[in-house]
Amino acid sequence: MSKSNKRIGVLTAGGDSPGLNAAIRGLGKAALGRHGMELVGFRDGVRGLAENRSIEMTPGNLSGILTIGGTILGTSRDKVHKMVVDGEPQDMIPTIAETFEKNKLDCLVMLGGGGTAKNAMRLAKAGLNVVHLPKTIDKDVAHTDNTFGFSTALEIATEAIDRLHSTAHSHHRVILAEIMGHKAGWLTLGAGLSGGADIILLPEIPYTVDSIAETIQARRDRGTNFSVIAVAEGASDVLAHADIAAAEALKSSADTPEAKQAAKAHMANVRDTHREHTFRLARELEAATGLESRVTILGYVQRGGTPCAEDRLLGTRIGSAAAELIADGQYGIMVASRGEDTAPVPLEDVAGNLSTVPLDHSWLQAARDVGTGLGD
Ligand code: F6P
């Protein structure tokens, strides 16, 4: 392929994730080396883009980052159309378009999850050439097999469940391990299966305390006086699940700015009531089973540290494929992972679509087949 002389920008946005640096490096080395492009990095996601805080990316600053966790560029969770500036939400799309112009960019590459896909879509609609690379430990981006960050988080959460087994066993306790994922249960299901959790609770499957207590009791009847439960951050009992679904429906049917505002406030209230549900569940299970119950919140440990080999590989593959697609002039896309390969997917198919665990998914069937309780 001939050298293209294009100048591309890159930023990382949303929650950080192991493998981001591998993807920056994959993109950068392919862009600078194979395709003869120039690369400029923007600091702290969309905020640094709006503020034109940039850094010229050279072979020097792309070197030695493959194995480093987090993102060398920094990140933020800002939205392009309502970024808070001086305490007020502002539409920064025109300012971002200016940054694009000032830096003489041919394309902007945005590494991030679902929120970043929406930001990318908004910039594409405003006429900017953008490419999105799917990152998140939640693996909930639509139309891609995987997202970088997931495999590392899966290892971390699995090891935590392994370790919780011996202490739960020694104390004859129920231990609940809360795993990240508000709307999608991929990480909890994957780690629960890999770590042999006795019960797995997902946002996709509402639970009842009775069902969980029955599973624990059945284990006791067989002489096993402990249980380890993998609970997704966003798992909920049947009542809370119905409340959340009703609030979601209200949000998506709201058709005026006022109704949208009210629906959002209602949703925030519902989610607030639901916060700390894992601690509540532990208390309820202690009362229902008579076994001492404890909670371990895995939290940000799941996102930190060195990426595993799988995430380094995925980040490198997707990053270098992005450089090739940009050299070809393909914009307005996400670079998806498809088996061993990658594929461009139109941003409009990705933005606003979440990949949750389908109820007939083989991982769920496998969980049921090995006797794991799913709380339903
Ligand atoms: O989106 C990835 C994720 O790690 C979720 O699993 C988690 O709920 C969320 O980010 C936490 O976000 P924050 O970094 O804003 O606290």
Order of strands, edge to edge, in the sheet holding 199-201? 199-201, 227-232, 174-179, 293-297
Token pair recorded at residue 281: 């569940």
Q: What is the crossing angle of helices 186-195 and 362-369, to 10°?
A: 30
Token pair recorded at residue 332: 């307005």
CA 210 to ligand 1 center in whole angstroms: 30
Best probe residue, ligand 1, of 16, 182, 188 (max atoms within 8 Å of C-beta): 182
- Which pLDDT score is estimated for 361? 98
Best probe residue, ligand 1, of 12, 138, 147, 271 (max atoms within 8 Å of C-beta): 138
CA 216 to ligand 1 center in whole angstroms: 30
121 and 203 both lie in a single domain:
no
DSSP 274-330: HTTHHHHHHHHHHHHH-S-EEEEE-GGGGG-SPPPHHHHHHHHHHHHHHHHHHHTT-
284 and 324 both lie in a single domain:
no
Locate the ligand 1 atom nearest the alpha carbon of residue 113 and give its number: 1
- Between CA 21 and CA 27 the distance in angstroms is 10
196 and 161 both lie in a single domain:
yes
281 and 336 both lie in a single domain:
no
Instruction: Collapse the DSSP code of 141 into the 3-class scheme (helix H, G, I; strand E, B; otherwise coil) and give the result.
Output: strand
Token pair recorded at residue 211: 């069902």
CA 148 to ligand 1 center in whole angstroms: 14
Q: Whose CA is nearest to atom 11 of ligand 1?
A: 15
38 and 135 both lie in a single domain:
yes
Which CATH number fits the domain that encloses residue 278? 3.40.50.460
Which CATH number fits the domain that encloses residue 143? 3.40.50.450
Residues linked to residue 84 through DSSP beta bridges, in sequence order: 89
Q: Are 150 and 144 in contact (CB under 8 A)?
A: no
137 and 245 both lie in a single domain:
no
Q: Are 4 and 22 in contact (CB under 8 A)?
A: no
- Between CA 16 and CA 69 the distance in angstroms is 9
Q: What number of other Cβ atoms are within 10 A of residue 45's Cβ?
A: 27
Q: Are 156 and 372 in contact (CB under 8 A)?
A: no
Q: 333 φ, ψ to 5°?
A: -135, 160
CA 300 to ligand 1 center in whole angstroms: 8
CA 180 to ligand 1 center in whole angstroms: 7
197 and 333 both lie in a single domain:
no
191 and 265 both lie in a single domain:
yes
Maximum distance among all alpha carbons in the chain?
70
Best probe residue, ligand 1, of 119, 156, 180, 278 (max atoms within 8 Å of C-beta): 180
CA 362 to ligand 1 center in whole angstroms: 26
Locate the ligand 1 atom nearest the alpha carbon of residue 302 and give its number: 4
* Residues recognised as catalytic: 138
| pTM of the predicted structure, to 2 decimals | 0.95
Token pair recorded at residue 290: 């008579």
Containing 177, the helix (H) or strand (E) segment is: strand 174-179
208 and 275 both lie in a single domain:
yes
2 in any annotated domain = no
110 in any annotated domain = yes
Q: Whose CA is nearest to atom 16 of ligand 1?
A: 15
Q: Whose CA is nearest to atom 14 of ligand 1?
A: 15
171 and 299 both lie in a single domain:
yes
Query: Tokens 């998806």 belong to which residue?
Result: 336
23 in any annotated domain = yes
- DSSP letter at 24 equals H
1 in any annotated domain = no
Containing 95, the helix (H) or strand (E) segment is: helix 93-102
- Which pLDDT score is estimated for 7? 98
Q: Whose CA is nearest to atom 15 of ligand 1?
A: 15
Locate the ligand 1 atom nearest the alpha carbon of residue 138 and give its number: 6
Domain hosting 104: range is 7-148+307-350
376 in any annotated domain = no
The 3-class SS string of 156-201 reads: HHHHHHHHHHHHHHHHCCEEEEEECCCCCCHHHHHHHHHHCCCEEE
Q: Whose CA is nearest to atom 13 of ligand 1?
A: 15
133 in any annotated domain = yes
Best probe residue, ligand 1, of 44, 116, 137, 156 (max atoms within 8 Å of C-beta): 137
Ligand 1 pocket by Cβ (under 6 Å): 15, 77, 113, 136-138, 180-182, 233, 303
184 in any annotated domain = yes
274 and 168 both lie in a single domain:
yes
Q: Whose CA is nearest to atom 1 of ligand 1?
A: 15
CA 149 to ligand 1 center in whole angstroms: 12
Instruction: Collapse the DSSP code of 129 into the 3-class scheme (helix H, G, I; strand E, B; otherwise coil) and give the result.
Output: coil
Domain count for the chain: 2
- Between CA 57 and CA 41 the distance in angstroms is 6
319 and 268 both lie in a single domain:
no
Count how many residues are written for the chain. 376
295 in any annotated domain = yes
- Which pLDDT score is estimated for 271? 84
Q: What is the pLDDT along the chain (376 residues), one digit of tens a residue?
A: 456 789 999 999 999 999 999 999 999 999 999 999 999 999 999 999 999 999 999 999 999 999 999 999 999 999 999 999 999 999 999 999 999 999 999 999 999 999 999 999 999 999 999 999 999 999 999 999 999 999 999 999 999 999 999 999 999 999 999 999 999 999 999 999 999 999 999 999 999 999 999 999 999 999 999 999 999 999 999 999 998 889 989 988 999 988 988 998 988 888 888 888 999 999 999 999 999 999 999 999 999 999 999 999 999 999 999 999 999 999 999 999 999 999 999 999 999 999 999 999 999 999 999 999 999 9
Q: What number of other Cβ atoms are within 10 A of residue 288's Cβ?
A: 17
